[in-house]
Amino acid sequence: MSRFTLRLSATDDIPEDEAASSFYWLPDQRSTFTRGFSPSLATLGPVPPLNVDVVRVALTAFAADRSVLREGRGANWNQRPLDLEIPVSDAASWNGLADELAGVLGFLSGDRWSLSFTQQPEPAEAQAPNEMGVTPRRVILLSGGADSAIGGLYSRSLLTADQHHILLSHYNNTMLAPIQRHIAAELERLIPGPSQEHIVVHLGRRGERIDGTSYPSESTTRSRSLLFLALGLAVASIHQVPLWIPENGFASINPPLGPERLGSLSTRTTHPKFLQDLAAVLTKVGAHAVIENPFGHITKGEMYRQVVNLVGADEASSFLSATHSCALTGQRAHGISADRPCGICFGCVLRRASFVASGISDFSDYIAPSSDPAVQKWLDGKSVEQPVRNFIRRGVRTRDLTTLSLPDDYPLRDVFDLCQRGIQELRSLYQ
């Protein structure tokens, strides 16, 4: 069992065992986390205490996820026991729902989580006032990917000239921030009129512990989406408005490409059950948790066609080609810029297929194929194209979908139809 405690203060002389098992969220350079946001979230505004708690839970889970290496592969590659102790504003309420929240975390990451909560006095730090002149209609998570960009565009299309929305971006990799800012600017250019605010958060675990020793670095951090959601809900809670997490329904359901791709090998970051169960437990504790996916029942290609309807084919091509949907890391080891998409991970393959299926020109600068034998060997080792081809050939059956832990209110016939449309889009890439 790997046990971690989130601490909001630190003495000058920290015992070695405490340093190894603690994350310190501090206002100075000793902090475990990147600087800029305090544990009260004061710079975001008057976030209600329970939603501050949600961010503390999510950040601790994310740090723990990054700090414990996975052992082995296959169906059980992701089974790590993780025990967290987190200071919150209402320990009694959180402890009463600890097991339920641990189950939600387990569904997301595939790990076995144990949670406990301690009472933390309210911080004395003054929060920034809510000085916005108009209440936003919604908060939209803007990751830099195509789906989130379409979510921002669609949201603007629904606003009148006197209405407003907020874009919330989070990044660990610094190359994402310019992409996110470019998309935000493009949204205003493509659909002028409504006002918007773009909040960019750089918050993650640093590479060194408080005593200077290095953390392990696990790359399969499925819990990052929980931190992104928690930050979005923090901003949405100030205004008591919905949080949009735009993602095509096919990727959200994410049927495994093969029987070996189970648990966290088949990501559940926007799975409808995860979003529904997370909202339910946070609502029970009293936090703001109105989460919506406006594209949960359509494919990525269908989302692309909505962009054409809104701004035309040429603008759609330029706008979508400038987004970043790649999940692969390691480009820099081959002398390639980190912002170049690989073209062969599932995110890139689905993206390429969506361009083809929607008839939109794709000007993305993919790495694959490469004339460099070493780079091509690396790409071949990471590629999901053969599993995707096998998946297309095999298809899905209704009984296959019963293994996907879908919510009770999502009819299997609708899921089956969505998967069939998604597979047809993938098939268009290889015709």
Query: In this structure, are residues 44 and 192 in contact, taking their beta carbons and an 8 Å threshold?
Result: no
Q: What is the mean pLDDT of residues 299-323?
A: 98
Of 130-139, 220-229, 249-258, 418-427, which has the strongest mean pLDDT? 418-427
Supply the DSSP symbol for 33. Answer: B
Residue type, 21: S
Total structural domains within the chain? 3
Looking at residue 330, what is its pLDDT? 86
Is 316 domain-assigned?
A: no
Residue 201: pLDDT above 90? Answer: yes
Q: Which of 75-89, 321-335, 372-386 has the lowest mean pLDDT?
A: 75-89
pLDDT at residue number 133: 66
Q: Are residues 109 and 222 in the same domain?
A: no
Cα–Cα distance between 270 and 229 in angstroms, integer? 10
pLDDT value of residue 174:
82
Name the token pair of 112: 């076995």
280: nearest Cα among 75, 101, 47, 82: 101
Tokens 């990044």 sit on residue:
171
* 129 located within any domain: no
Structure tokens at 195: 């006002």
* The predicted structure's pLDDT at residue 431: 84
Tell me, what's the pLDDT at 400? Answer: 80
Task: Establish if 128 belongs to a structural domain.
Answer: no
Instruction: Name the nearest CA neighbour of 209 among 80, 88, 63, 87.
Output: 63
- In three-state secondary structure terms, 164 is strand
Q: Are residues 151 and 239 in the same domain?
A: yes
pLDDT of 129 > 80? The answer is no
Say if residues 341 and 326 touch (Cβ distance below 8 Å).
yes
Task: Mark whether 143 and 267 lie in a shared domain.
Answer: yes
What CATH number does the domain containing 143 carry?
3.40.50.620
130 — pLDDT class (breaks 50, 70, 90): low
- pLDDT higher than 70, residue 261: no
300: in domain: no
Q: Is residue 365 part of a domain?
A: yes
CB 197, CB 187: distance < 8 Å: no
Residue 309 resides in a domain:
no
Window from 6-20, 118-132, 207-221, 239-253 with minimum mean pLDDT: 118-132
Of 67-71, 196-200, 277-281, the range with the lowest mean pLDDT is: 67-71
Which of 67-76, 120-129, 215-224, 338-347 ranks highest by mean pLDDT?
338-347
β pairing state of 243-244 and 195-202: unpaired
Q: How far apart are CA 426 and CA 2, in angstroms?
A: 40
Q: How far is CA 313 from CA 53, 94, 317, 320, 361, in A?
A: 44, 49, 6, 10, 8
Identify whether residues 27 and 69 lie together within a single domain.
Answer: yes
Question: Are 236 and 169 in the same domain?
Answer: yes
Q: Residue 102: pLDDT above 80?
A: yes
Count of other CB atoms within 10 angstroms of residue 9: 10
pLDDT band at 72 (very low <50, low <70, confident <90, very high): low
Same-domain pairing of 163 and 271: yes
Q: Are residues 262 and 336 in the same domain?
A: no
| For residue 272, cis peptide bond before it (omega within 30 degrees of 0) | no
Residues 6+ apart with CB under 8 A from 160: 193, 194
Range in 247-251, 294-298, 393-397 with the lowest mean pLDDT: 393-397
Percent of the chain at pLDDT > 90 equals 77
Pair type for strands 164-171 and 195-202: parallel
pLDDT of residue 128: 59
pLDDT at position 27 is 87
Tell me whether residue 382 is exposed, middle or buried, using C-beta atoms within 10 angstroms of its C-beta: 0 to 12, 13 to 18, 19 or more.
middle
List the one residue out of 285, 168, 158 whose CA is nearest residue 230. Answer: 168
Question: Other C-beta atoms within 10 Å of 306: how many?
Answer: 17
Q: Which residue has the tokens 């034998």?
A: 373
pLDDT at 268: 82
Phi, psi of 33 (to 5 degrees): -110, 155
Inside any domain, residue 132: no
| Pair 252, 158 in one domain | yes
pLDDT above 70 for 132: no
Residues 257 and 143 in one domain: yes
Regarding whether 277 and 164 lie in a shared domain, the answer is yes
Task: Return the H-helix or E-strand segment holding 119.
Answer: strand 112-119
73, burial (CB in 10 Å: exposed 0-12, middle 13-18, buried 19+): exposed
Do both 107 and 199 map to the same domain?
no
H-assigned helices in 87-175:
91-96, 98-109, 146-158
Residues 175 and 239 in one domain: yes
- Which residue range forms the structural domain that includes residue 337? 326-429
CA of residue 45 relative to chain centroid, distance: 22
Q: Nearest Cα to 111, choosing from 50, 57, 69, 155?
A: 69
Query: Looking at the domain assignment, is residue 298 inside a domain?
Result: no
Q: Name the packing angle between helices 146-158 and 300-311 (round to 10°).
A: 40
Average pLDDT over residues 258-282: 75
> Is it the case that residue 309 has pLDDT exceeding 50?
yes
Tokens of 356: 């083809």
Distance CA 1, CA 239 (A): 39
